[in-house]
Amino acid sequence: MNYNRIAIIGAGNMGGALVKGWTKAGLAANLAVTAHTKRTLDRLTEACPGISVTLDNNEAARGADVVVLAVKPWLVGQVIEEIKPVLTDKLVVSVAAGVRHERIDVYVMPNIAAEYGQSMTFVEEAPQATAVAELFGRVGQCRVVPQRLMDAGMMMAGCGIAYVMRFLRAMMEGGVEMGFYPDEAKQIAMQTMQGAVALLRETGLHPEAAIDKVTTPGGITIKGLNELDHAAFNSAVIRCLKAGLK
Ligand SMILES: NC(=O)c1ccc[n+]([C@@H]2O[C@H](COP(=O)([O-])OP(=O)(O)OC[C@H]3O[C@@H](n4cnc5c(N)ncnc54)[C@H](OP(=O)(O)O)[C@@H]3O)[C@@H](O)[C@H]2O)c1
């Protein structure tokens, strides 16, 4: 794909994470970034030397090959209207949740771990999806999926970050109740989670098979696991993921 010029319209949590991730991937000189306020752009320029910034969406989009819309969903239509005249030969990509528009070529659902090259991104099937997946692949893993799976992807990976944070927070609170300071409890919870992920990645095991490895019959791990079952943990997670589906 031609990375010559990428305009990112809206540099908040998501747009900013993409800009920082692409900057780390060596694309700073290719990025033209906009926001509503100069303050946001000043902060971003400090974090990402080499990017171009402007408060003028038309100016950023005019020189771009790819225009990434990263404003709040309710602003997408308004922003497209504003820059429509310069969009004629551009590839228009949107990361806005749940917004459809005739001028958008490719729908993408990344998450904010893009800043650290760790996004789980979904790209909706479209003629240019592979090229777009290549670009978003610079900031993490990318999957091209049919439209019917985009919302599921959003719930698992876009919103999923928040759900994982809740689990981490719950572990922290348990740790604090048992005597660790909050920071220690956070480090312990994060490292345990990282270890669990590494185990699955390295072995390819199903989570239940990994659970068997740490569960002694009559031991203490099974007591905790059964408490989770009594509290309907599985069901709560499944309902959480499905809550945002239309
Ligand atoms: N946050 C996530 O985890 C996540 C994940 C996946 C997808 N998304 C999608 O990403 C989009 C942005 O969400 P967000 O959480 O990043 O919101 P946000 O933090 O509020 O960021 C929105 C950005 O848009 C800028 N902006 C507002 N009006 C603008 C305009 N007319 N022209 C150009 N820029 C303008 C804002 O500028 P100022 O900073 O100067 O106000 C801000 O930087 C949403 O559509 C959301 O569905 C978000």
Whether pLDDT at 2 is above 90: no
pLDDT averaged over the chain? 96
How many angstroms separate the alpha carbon of residue 104 from the centre of ligand 1? 17
43-47: average pLDDT: 97
| 43, 71, 80, 95: residue to mutate for ligand 1 pocket, most atoms within 8 A of CB | 71
Quick: pLDDT tens for 226-245. 999 999 999 999 999 999 88
- Label residue 3 by pLDDT band (50, 70, 90): low
How many angstroms separate the alpha carbon of residue 43 from the centre of ligand 1? 15
| 18, 34, 36: residue to mutate for ligand 1 pocket, most atoms within 8 A of CB | 36
207-223: average pLDDT: 96
**Whole-angstrom distance, CA of residue 119 vs CA of residue 24:** 13
Share of the chain above pLDDT 90, in %: 96
Write down the CATH superfamily of domain 6-145.
NAD(P)-binding Rossmann-like Domain (3.40.50.720)
* Ligand 1, atom 20: closest residue by C-alpha: 12
Type of residue found at 38 = K
- Label residue 4 by pLDDT band (50, 70, 90): confident
Is 160-242 in the same CATH topology as 6-145?
A: no
143-165: average pLDDT: 96
Quick: pLDDT tens for 65-75. 999 999 999 99
Please report, for the chain, the start and end positions of each structural domain, with discontinuous segments joined by +: 6-145, 160-242
Share of the chain above pLDDT 70, in %: 99
Q: Which atom of ligand 1 is nearest to the CA of 162?
A: 3
Whether pLDDT at 21 is above 80: yes
**Whole-angstrom distance, CA of residue 141 vs CA of residue 6:** 19
How many angstroms separate the alpha carbon of residue 8 from the centre of ligand 1? 10
Type of residue found at 116 = Y
Q: Which atom of ligand 1 is nearest to the CA of 41?
A: 40
The predicted structure's pLDDT at residue 1: 60
Q: With b meaning 16 or more CB within 10 Å and e meaning fewer, what string describes 94-120?
A: bbbbebeeebbbbbbbbbbbbbeeebb
113-126: average pLDDT: 98
The predicted structure's pLDDT at residue 85: 95
Query: Would you list the DSSP string of 159-195?
Result: THHHHHHHHHHHHHHHHHHTT--HHHHHHHHHHHHHH
CATH number of 160-242: 1.10.3730.10
Q: Which atom of ligand 1 is nearest to the CA of 38?
A: 40
